[in-house]
Chain A
Amino acid sequence: MTRTTLTALLLGTSILGTAGSAFAQDKTITIESWRNDDLPIWQEKLIPAFEAKNPGIKVVFAPSAPTEYNAALNAKLDAGSAGDLITCRPFDASLELFNKGQLASLNDLPGMENFSDVAKSAWQTDDGATTFCVPMASVIHGFIYNKDAFDQLGIAVPATEAEFFAALDKIKEDGTYIPMAMGTKDLWEAATMGYQNIGPNYWKGEEGRLALLKGEQKLTDPQWVEPFAALAKWKPYLGDGFEAQSYPDSQNLFTLGRAAIFPAGSWEISVFNPQAQFKMGAFPPPVKNAGDTCYISDHNDIGIGLNAKSANADAAKTFLTWVASPEFATIYANALPGFFSLSNTPVQMEDPLAQEFVSWREKCKSTIRSTYQILSRGTPNLENETWVKSANVINGTETPEAAAAELQKGLDSWFKPAK
């Protein structure tokens, strides 16, 4: 099948759904996804690699816009016109699909043994008994820095909190660079790149997160308030007018070489690489005291599951097993540096920045974002509230203690931990 007919089929399937298989001799399976940025990678690398090994199965990658994906997918699933394979958002969005019987259980899928429990946690029932998506990729938080700037100012990569603030002070004193590129306008930057980035070192990763789920810890405990206190100290190091600085503004400030440090998620790597004209490095969130165990947020972001009503379930399962294989992991992780495979088998990656990020998995303990599992099920929504509160704390309009108290109060209003 040539590229043009593939495109035509892609268009066709988006209208006709799985009817495409009626006129194709081979079995055709369609993937629903929100990653429309990844279309060339699927068409040029992943799908040919799979089809070469599995003659008789044709794969069509049919993405929709990220903001429309959840709504469009739900509508298609309800109408029975969704593709065979469903790209899974982490946690509750996918869990709801499984509970509605729209995603099939993948417990007996060959290849699932390649993933750890933490990797699968985003696509499991609350009791962990059933997994319904194959974990594809995670993103890791840390700080990306301008290596040239650090060399020029003679700053060593900070490992502890004290060194971190000393470095920021030095950059600020010198005045050539804005010490840190972050704004609070879009709110989520403050929470995701701030609170969830540095937090795990304070609440000890999974230990704190699970204790919170069990109700043994509260957001008002010191280990949950301290990250807010650290964030409050960031304010003087952010650029002028950071209150109205949006996320693309921050990205541009950094890639234009005007800022020295960018609190980041690893997905920035593929964005920054072609844009930045200087050398970049990365360091994990600094620990409190030298020698402390470090914790990183290694957040499950993308999985892929099977539409329970798929007409080509066998072909789709073959594909899922392939997704669970090291071969897929290697192609995917290299095509999209910054989206790291969740497979237990280590993956060889070319990109030095991506290598740096993933190397932290060896020396630090991984956790996922504290607000994602279960805790954002009710109203008020803990994740969204954390966005607002983190921005407030950095803006200096609310104290860390008050912010944490408000969050806990909101959580208490609906969350009853299982004792």
Chain B
Amino acid sequence: MAGEFAQQKKPIRWHIAVFLAPAVLVYTAVMIIPLFGTLQLSLFNAENQQRFFVGLDNFRKLFGDPRWSASFWNALWNNTWFFIIHMLVQNPIGIGLAALLSSPKLRFSAFYRTAIFIPTILSFVIVGFAWKLILSPLWGVAPNLLDLVGLKSLFTPWLGKEEYALTTLGLISVWQFVGIPMMLIYAALLSIPDEVIEAAEMDGITGMAQFWKIKLPLILPSIGIISILTFVGNFNAFDLIYSAQGALAGPNYSTDILGTFLYRTFFGFQLQTGDPYMGSAIASMMFLIILTGVCIYLFTIQTRLRRYQF
């Protein structure tokens, strides 16, 4: 029996490799090779157009040199604050909107869904430019609108003040991307079977209590996914800050996040020539930060999330 089994070796399943090949090849060429190229580049430096290996010197400089480390920690903290704004504002609002949209009593829900999602598909450049105009103290509508309701005194040039600029940009980004958590949660809510809801109603759980006790636990895995998407997106962010505030992320680097810091270092800016080696060191740190964040999520949070099979 055993010998017969050994002779009947499973044929090699070529089709798996063939079907995977295009994706693997493309992904390797445009993602994996550049990623390792960057990690490798961060261990080098150049002088007189001669590249040589320096080990971890670039990282030592990034954390040891008071100026480099001040810029790095400033960018990291700003980035964290950017992320906090998204977690505290974007995701709760997204969940709330999804809950409202999934209510069967709501009319025109398709219209709202589309309208709220549209900013997400706009280019960063358009969003940055439009909001710069809206908030402009000279030609913007924001001061006039506030004036109409008698709150003109509340207006300040938000994008030009150190204390407000980053929060303002964070909220602009929330405005742009609130459609993503909304759509994901909306889909999750729709996938909850009617039997579960009906059973809850039989038990007398309706309205808000139904949302908190029945729906929210069922959509927790989706919320987890959204959090991790937000985390990765925010720590890779660059475009909005660059288009609204420029590469120097003014005023006084108060809106500098890791992405703009990397850009300035890697490509240079104005008279500053680019330093690909220090830039790669920053890029490697960004990769490590995101990797750590994702690992923490995967190994501590996701494994504990209970999944319900219907």
Expressed in whole angstroms, the Cα–Cα distance for A244 and B140 within the complex equals 11
B270 with A383: CB separation less than 8 A: yes
Cβ A244 vs Cβ B159 within 8 A? yes
Which secondary structure dominates where chain B touches chain A? loop
Q: Mark B219-250, 1 if CB is under 8 A from A, else 0.
A: 00000000000000000000000000010101
Tell me, in angstroms, the Cα distance from A244 to B136 when the chains sit together.
Answer: 7
Least CB separation from A96: chain B residue = B273
Decide if B157 touches A397 in the complex (CB within 8 Å).
no
B63 close to chain A: CB less than 8 A: no
Give every chain A residue within 8 A of B143 (Cβ-Cβ): 241
For residue B125, give the distance in angstroms from its CB to the closest CB of chain A.
13
Interface size class of B (residues with CB under 8 A): 20 to 34
With contacts A253-B138, A383-B270, A384-B269 taken as known, whether A397 is within 8 angstroms of B156 at the C-beta atoms is no
Which residue from A243, A384, A397 sits with its C-beta under 8 Å from B271?
A: A384
Verify if B215 is at the interface (C-beta below 8 Å from A).
Answer: no
Say which residue of A100, A187, A253, A383 sits within 8 Å of B250 (CB atoms).
A187
Verify B251–A380 contact, CB threshold 8 A: no
Contact B269 A246 (CB under 8 A): no
Contact B248 A387 (CB under 8 A): yes
Q: Given A96-B273, A243-B157, A244-B160, decide whether A391 and B138 contact each other with a Cβ distance below 8 A.
A: no
Q: Cβ of A303 < 8 Å from any Cβ of B? A: no
Give complex CA distance A100, B132 in Å: 41
Query: How long is the Cα–Cα vector from A188 to B137 in the complex, in angstroms?
Result: 19
In the assembled complex, which residues on chain B have CB atoms less than 8 Å from the CB atom of A92?
A: 271, 273
A223 within 8 A of partner (CB): no
Instruction: Answer whether residue B253 sits at the interface, using C-beta atoms and an 8 A cutoff.
Output: yes
Known A-B contacts A244-B158, A249-B138; A380 and B67 likewise in contact (beta carbons under 8 Å): yes
Bound-state Cα–Cα, A387 to B253, Å: 11
B252 located at the interface, meaning its Cβ lies under 8 Å from any Cβ of chain A in the complex: yes
**Residue A50 interfacial (CB < 8 Å):** no
Q: A91 to B253, alpha carbons, bound, how many Å?
A: 26
Question: Within 8 Å of chain A (Cβ to Cβ): is B51?
Answer: no
Structural contact, A372 and B271, CB atoms closer than 8 A: yes
B300 at interface (Cβ–Cβ under 8 A)?
A: no
Q: Is the CB of A241 within 8 A of B160?
A: yes
| B50 beta carbon closer than 8 Å to chain A | no
In chain B, positions 166-189 with a C-beta closer than 8 Å to chain A are none
Of the residues B139, B158, B275, contact of A379 by C-beta under 8 Å: B275
Given A186-B246, A384-B270, A391-B251; A100-B49 close (CB under 8 Å): yes
Is B214 positioned at the interface, with any CB of A under 8 Å from its CB? no
Contact between A240 and B67, CB atoms less than 8 A apart: no
Query: Are B135 and A244 in contact, CB atoms less than 8 angstroms apart?
Result: yes
Q: Is A410 an interface residue (CB 8 A)?
A: yes
Q: Chain A residues near B269 (CB, 8 Å)?
A: 381, 384
Residues of B within 8 A of A325 (CB): none
Given B252, B273, B275, which contacts A392 in the complex, CB threshold below 8 Å? B252
**Residues in A whose Cβ lies below 8 Å from that of B273:** 92-93, 96
Complex Cα distance, B272 from A250, in Å, reads 26
CB-based contact A241/B246 at 8 Å: no
Q: Which residue of A lies closest to B132 (CB)?
A: A246
Q: Chain B residues with Cβ under 8 A from A392's Cβ?
A: 251-252
A147 within 8 A of B: no
- CB pair B252–A249 under 8 Å, yes or no, is no
Instruction: Report yes or no: B157 in contact with A244, Cβ–Cβ below 8 A.
Output: yes
Contact in complex: B157, A241 (CB < 8 Å):
yes
Q: How far is the CB of B240 from chain A (nearest CB, A)?
A: 15
Q: Can you name the residue of chain A whose Cβ is closest to the Cβ of B155? A: A241
Shortest Cβ distance from B269 into A: residue: A384
Please indicate the chain B residues that have their CB under 8 angstroms from the CB of A249 in the complex. Answer: 136, 138-139
A188: chain B residues at CB < 8 Å are: 270
Q: Decide yes or no whether A295 CB sits under 8 A from chain B.
A: no
- Give CA–CA (A282, B271) in the complex, Å: 28
| Cα(A410)–Cα(B71), bound, Å | 13
Contact among A96, A245, A380 with B138 in the assembled complex (CB-CB below 8 Å): A245
The answer to whether the Cβ of A395 comes within 8 Å of any Cβ in the partner chain is yes
Looking across the interface, which residue of chain B has its beta carbon closest to that of A91? B271
A389 (CB) vs chain B CBs: closest residue:
B252
B160 contacts A185, CB within 8 Å? yes
Give which listed residue, B67, B139, B162, B275, contacts A397 with CB less than 8 A.
B162
Closest to A90 in B: B271
What's the Cα separation between A414 and B158 when bound, in Å?
Answer: 35
Q: Does A43 contact B (CB under 8 A)?
A: no
B60 in contact (CB, < 8 A) = no
Note all chain A residues with C-beta closer than 8 A to B161. 243-244
Is A413's CB within 8 Å of the partner chain B?
A: yes
- Give every chain B residue within 8 A of A242 (Cβ-Cβ): 137, 157, 160
Are B160 and A410 neighbours in the complex by a CB distance under 8 Å? no
Residues 198-242 of A at the B interface (beta carbon under 8 Å): 239-242
Cβ–Cβ < 8 Å partners of B251 in chain A: 184-185, 187, 243, 388, 391-392, 395, 397
Bound-state Cα–Cα, A275 to B94, Å: 46
The smallest C-beta distance from A352 to any residue of chain B, in angstroms, reads: 29
Interface check A376, CB cutoff 8 A: yes
Within the complex, the shortest CB–CB distance from A247 to chain B, in Å, comes to: 10
User: Could you say which residues of chain A place their CB within 8 Å of the CB of B158?
Assistant: 244
CA distance A252 to B159 in the complex (A): 19
A81 within 8 A of B: no
Residue among B139, B269, B273 with most chain A CB within 10 A? B273
Residues of A contacting B248 in the complex (Cβ-Cβ under 8 angstroms):
187, 384, 387-388
Q: Which of A32-58 contact B (CB under 8 A)?
A: none
Q: Complex Cα distance A384/B253, Å?
A: 11
- Beyond A185-B159, A391-B250, whether A371 also contacts B271 by CB under 8 A is yes
Which chain B residue lies CB-closest to A388?
B252
- Asked whether B272 lies within 8 Å of A384 as measured between CB atoms, the reply is yes
Closest 3 CB pairs of A and B: A241-B137, A243-B160, A244-B157
15 additional contacts (CB under 8 A) given A239-B137, A383-B272: A92-B273, A184-B160, A185-B160, A188-B270, A243-B161, A243-B251, A244-B135, A249-B138, A252-B138, A379-B272, A381-B271, A388-B253, A395-B162, A397-B251, A410-B67
B residues bordering A, Cβ < 8 Å?
49, 67, 132, 135-139, 143, 155-162, 246, 248, 250-253, 269-273, 275, 278
Q: List 22 A-B contacts (CB under 8 A).
A: A91-B271, A92-B273, A93-B273, A100-B49, A187-B251, A241-B136, A241-B143, A241-B157, A243-B157, A243-B161, A244-B137, A245-B137, A245-B160, A372-B271, A379-B67, A381-B269, A384-B248, A388-B248, A388-B250, A392-B252, A395-B162, A397-B251
